[in-house]
Structure 1
């Protein structure tokens, strides 16, 4: 079985950027990707300098070509297990295929858990959105709704108010705003609808409104939501690496794998980058984190190789 210097698990921006840094350092690299990036439903990637609006699949195809052009390899598949062997790691795919490597770079991203409202999932990444920086320009000046499931929606609604004069906050399951928050919403001209949302109305492949319990429909053209995120890292359990809970002011954001500035996890030899470590990262910061992790892995390997070379050569000092 071929043993690679590094197996990169996940072929999005972080994984391909890390792989590129490694192959350009003459490392043998295998990228294993299951073809389900988080941003697959989006028409284009935004805030990516020189590539704004480019479809995600096109960016990743270009990235794979660059990695392969330097001698890297790419395999399709889903990693189900990663375990340590005598001098590195073995990863197993869903189809039973196994690969070995000296180091692992985990860039599998995350899963968005949507509020349980009929109609949301079908429009996710289209006119049901979460990030004003990723999708806000595309819904500018439209009738935008913000579905609140936590106090974080009070921050989110102000961001979308920057993009449209017609913004409505649906309190849904979020707690009642404070007096100060009510004043802020009123000052910005943000409408507030109390009561639970029953479903999203869709016609001609577009959102047309938000239906409340009781039947009233509030016309809307786009809906912003705050998802809960889950790191796609269950296959790391055999290595003892478990994602940790992330909170913001006591509000659960989701889970993520903890890393240092160079992407190293608490498990020696295992690095991670991108959304699996930072749910807020867009494509550019994810790519940057992948680059840093690739550099961290390369130096980690150099340190090991230098130690082994010195051990074989002895002290090297002249008598």
Structure 2
């Protein structure tokens, strides 16, 4: 990364994960001046590898980002370290302010800042997050296959999560915690031989830097080798409040996102979003694809504007 930030760009991209970098790649290949401003706090940093990504399955998140940055730079794109604190303006003239006082301008913007995971305040969970405390059966499930898996009842998707993890292990326990199953869900869990443990979870036990099990508030201890937790996912988008763009509840109940039309365009003209900031459940491949699609749409929007200007000038 660099600290050098020019006065203006065709497109400023906020967020340097898969969505932001792939958007920058498309724009750079379209000969647009583009900068990616990245805070350096990727959501998947605790994970050992990225999974479900064709031809790159298991690649370390840091290596994937380094490769992506190199490709973006190869087409003239810039990668700048920093955190955006506010966006102002509109109508093709946005001012982007960083926390350290730097300022730049953009004709269009792509927001790809991702999300943050709110997980229950249970001792031990955050410490093992991304290791043996996990959330996604497609991202981490193979790595815990055939192990003793616990699923924490923490939200509306928890039972669904337990049923998915049962595909990967015959030993799954559902801890009701704050999300006891409905009668219909209880029947589904029983049919799949998923044991249900009532009561709230007090803590998870860690031994030799590994998850050892779960302790309930009544003192009951259940040995587990992995724990699945459905986090509440919230878009990282506070800095957009300055232009009236705020996260809203996601229809699934999983958290809050920035809604868009099918092209990634938001209700604020000139601003697109891509990746987990709008699609809370998107894996790396889907986020990258959304970034590429948004980059193409932004370029087309700029081309349309430039054609109109050229026609007017010719007249």
Pick aligned residue for 1:231 from 225, 232, 235: 235
**Residues of 1 paired with 2:92 and 2:182: CA distance?**
56
Instruction: State whether residues 47 and 133 of structure 1, in contact with CA within 8 Å, keep that contact through their aligned partners in structure 2.
Output: yes
Pick aligned residue for 2:177 from 132, 147, 172: 172
- Name 1:278's counterpart in structure 2: 279
Matched, 1:194 2:195: no
Pick aligned residue for 2:112 from 107, 113, 130: 107
- Name 2:143's counterpart in structure 1: 138
- Name 1:2's counterpart in structure 2: 7
Alignment of 1:1-319 (within 5 A): 2-84=7-89, 87-178=92-183, 180-248=184-252, 252-314=253-315
Tell which structure's C-alpha radius of gyration is larger. Answer: 1
**Residues of 2 paired with 1:81 and 1:311: CA distance?**
34
**Residues of 2 paired with 1:65 and 1:152: CA distance?**
38
Instruction: Choose 91-100 or 238-247, whichever is displaced more.
Output: 238-247
SS at match of 1:142: coil
Structure 2: 5+ residue stretches without partners = 1-5
Deviation at 1:157, TM superposition (A): 0.6
Instruction: State whether residues 263 and 294 of structure 2, in contact with CA within 8 Å, keep that contact through their aligned partners in structure 1.
Output: yes
SS at match of 1:21: helix
**Residues of 1 paired with 2:180 and 2:286: CA distance?**
33
Deviation at 1:259, TM superposition (A): 1.1
Deviation at 1:214, TM superposition (A): 2.1
Instruction: Choose 239-248 or 36-45, whichever is displaced more.
Output: 239-248
Instruction: Choose 238-247 or 97-106, whichever is displaced more.
Output: 238-247
User: Given the two structures, how large is their TM-score scaled by the length of structure 2?
Assistant: 0.96
SS at match of 1:247: coil
**Residues of 2 paired with 1:176 and 1:17: CA distance?**
40
With over 3 angstroms needed to count, the CA separation of the structure-2 counterparts of 1:165 and 1:211, relative to structure 1, is same
**Residues of 1 paired with 2:90 and 2:144: CA distance?**
50
Instruction: State whether residues 180 and 198 of structure 2, in contact with CA within 8 Å, keep that contact through their aligned partners in structure 1.
Output: no
Instruction: State whether residues 149 and 225 of structure 2, in contact with CA within 8 Å, keep that contact through their aligned partners in structure 1.
Output: yes
Deviation at 1:260, TM superposition (A): 1.4
**Residues of 2 paired with 1:127 and 1:87: CA distance?**
46
Instruction: State whether residues 150 and 175 of structure 1, in contact with CA within 8 Å, keep that contact through their aligned partners in structure 2.
Output: no
User: Given the two structures, how large is their TM-score scaled by the length of structure 1?
Assistant: 0.95
Q: Which whole-Å deviations, capped at 9, do the CAs of 1:181-216 have from their partners, x for residues lacking one?
A: 322222211111000000010011100000101222
Q: How many residues align?
A: 310
Aligned residues: CA RMSD: 1.1
**Residues of 2 paired with 1:107 and 1:86: CA distance?**
20
Deviation at 1:3, TM superposition (A): 1.4
Q: Which whole-Å deviations, capped at 9, do the CAs of 1:40-75 have from their partners, x for residues lacking one?
A: 110000000000000111001100000001111110
Q: Which whole-Å deviations, capped at 9, do the CAs of 1:139-165 have from their partners, x for residues lacking one?
A: 000000000023421111110011001
- Hey, which bits of structure 1, 4+ residues long, moved more than 4 A? none
**Residues of 1 paired with 2:84 and 2:259: CA distance?**
20
**Residues of 1 paired with 2:126 and 2:156: CA distance?**
22
**Residues of 2 paired with 1:220 and 1:211: CA distance?**
10
